[in-house]
A and B are shown apart, each in its own frame.
Chain A
Amino acid sequence: MAEIVSVAEAVEELVRDGDAVALEGFTHLIPYAAGHELIRQGRRDLTLVRMTPDIVYDQLIGMGCARKLVFSWGGNPGVGSLHRLRDAVEHGWPEPLKLEEHSHAGMAAAYAAGAAKLPFGVVRGYEGNDLAARTRVARIRCPFTGEQLAAVPAIRPEVGLVHAQQADREGNVLLWGIPGVQKEVVLASRRSIVTVEEVVSRLEPRPNAVFLPSWTVTAVAVAPRGAHPSYAHGYYGRDNGFYERWDEISRDRERFRNWMARHVLEREPLPV
């Protein structure tokens, strides 16, 4: 049964230095509040797993929390580069970052395999490119048809962190809109933290919504606007202007560190 705690308590109890952590949410419901708490508590040597690192991993990498990144597309969507990610890979600042990169399909299959507790996922891909030699993938032959396929090792993070719209007092979680890989990451992870916009007395059933029963989640924490600058369908929209401003904020090391000190470490709210 999920315990309802604060974000700080959840991170304090469940995330350790050196853990492989996956903060998921495909454009939608990205768990920023949880990511910021990892930074405030000074977690180190994390293996950060996420299909699209987005600004939240740019922040974690730039603040020196990460040793390795497992990802499939590392840009600022529609804007350009993630400058902190690039600085770490190109110049080793603030420290070198190991990469394990996949394609989206490969990573999605690896999460699905993780949720199913299978050792690997299967895709028709990683063929004829230079990626296969640079990542963890193996060619296998289908035992029934003989077709050559690619096996990608299952992702089983120590901690999965996602954001959702609602939980009830028992810690059952409901999320809707673009579902990404949130269900897969919670079921694949050994421990999980779900931050929510609000706790309600009764979850209204919604057809096709993602429901995570309390017994699949380790901790639930309330974090209103906890997905900003991404969005929470039905609560607030994506702050596209912030994604564009991040390009400037993150370009320079000192400006980035100052911004993080002010708005993440000291929690000064952003001007509206």
Chain B
Amino acid sequence: MTQVEAAAYTGDEMMAVAAARRLRNGMVCFVGIGLPSQAANLARATHAPNCVLVYESGTIGAKPTHLPLSIGDGELAETADAVVSVPEIFGYWLQGGWIDIGFLSAAQIDRHGNLNSTVIGSYESPRVRLPGAGGAPEIAAGCRETFVMLRHESRAFVEKLDFLTTPGKGVTCVVTDLGVLEPADRGELMLTELHPGVTADEARGATGWDLRVSDDPRQGKPPNRDELAALRALKPPNGDTVAR
């Protein structure tokens, strides 16, 4: 397949493509809004048509043609194999151990993949009050693997979290706009893959701890034409309602 030039895609698109490539056909994915939803739907539109998308609104096997803004948009319910209640989705399906991959994001991550989505600053008088835990702690605990998608910058990749919302022990990869990190010895994240045109030093500079880099990090491939076309076709027709 033809590869496109570096300038022809965005960092977010590279993240969605890199995460989508890691999904195999038939995998059951617990998907949140934004980049995870893009990645899982891209996989379904390209190499993994039988990837099963489960949204926390209780829609199992949703097959949206465009990216939803919320986890409960009507199209998810209309295209799902089943629609169940919230206690059921978290109780039977997530905690019951039926999900392969859970996707998460956060405001902060540390070297062990622990995540903060609760506050920046102190809990009692936060500088920034973030949305909070949502489904994250149980997604990380209940899925076989957790993929984290997060833009790589030092204010997000921190030495010490302001608040630990979600333990990182199930994290098997962190996809950023610079590359991919995977847990190595004692669970510490190590940079194992670089996106096209990115150097290990750039990744180190965007990380708030002394980032370990594997001996010979893999060089990721840029999005190909088919991937980009499929990804862009998922965006809603009016252009501006893609989840951020």
Contacts and interface: CB of A to CB of B under 8 A. Distances in A.
A124 B57 contact: no
Contacts of A93: none
Interface stretch (B19-27, B68-76, B183-191, B193-201): B68-76
A241 B68 CA distance: 12
Interface stretch (A40-48, A176-184, A249-257, A261-269): A176-184
B6 interface: no
Prevailing SS type, chain B contact patch: loop
Contact of B33 (A28, A77, A85, A179): A77
B58 A180 contact: yes
Interface stretch (A157-165, A216-224, A231-239): A231-239
B167 interface: yes
B95 A124 contact: yes
Nearest to A244: B241
Given A78-B34, A128-B167, A131-B118, A178 B131 contact: no
A73 B137 CA distance: 12
Contact of A105 (B70, B118, B138): B138
A126 B138 CA distance: 8
A79 B244 contact: yes
Nearest to A184: B87
Interface in B41-94: 56-59, 68-74, 76-77, 83-87, 90-91, 94
Nearest to B56: A104
Nearest to B168: A128
A183 B83 CA distance: 14
Nearest to B73: A238
Contacts of A125: 95, 137-138, 141
Contacts of A193: none
B69 A77 contact: yes
B123 interface: yes
Contacts of A51: 86
Contacts of B74: 28, 177, 231, 233, 237-238
Contacts of A237: 74
B134 A27 contact: no
Given A74-B131, A79-B243, 19 more contacts: A26-B72, A73-B133, A74-B129, A74-B132, A77-B69, A77-B72, A77-B243, A89-B129, A104-B90, A128-B164, A128-B167, A131-B165, A181-B85, A183-B85, A237-B74, A238-B74, A241-B241, A243-B69, A244-B240
10 contacts: A27-B70, A51-B86, A80-B244, A81-B131, A89-B126, A103-B138, A108-B91, A111-B87, A178-B57, A240-B241
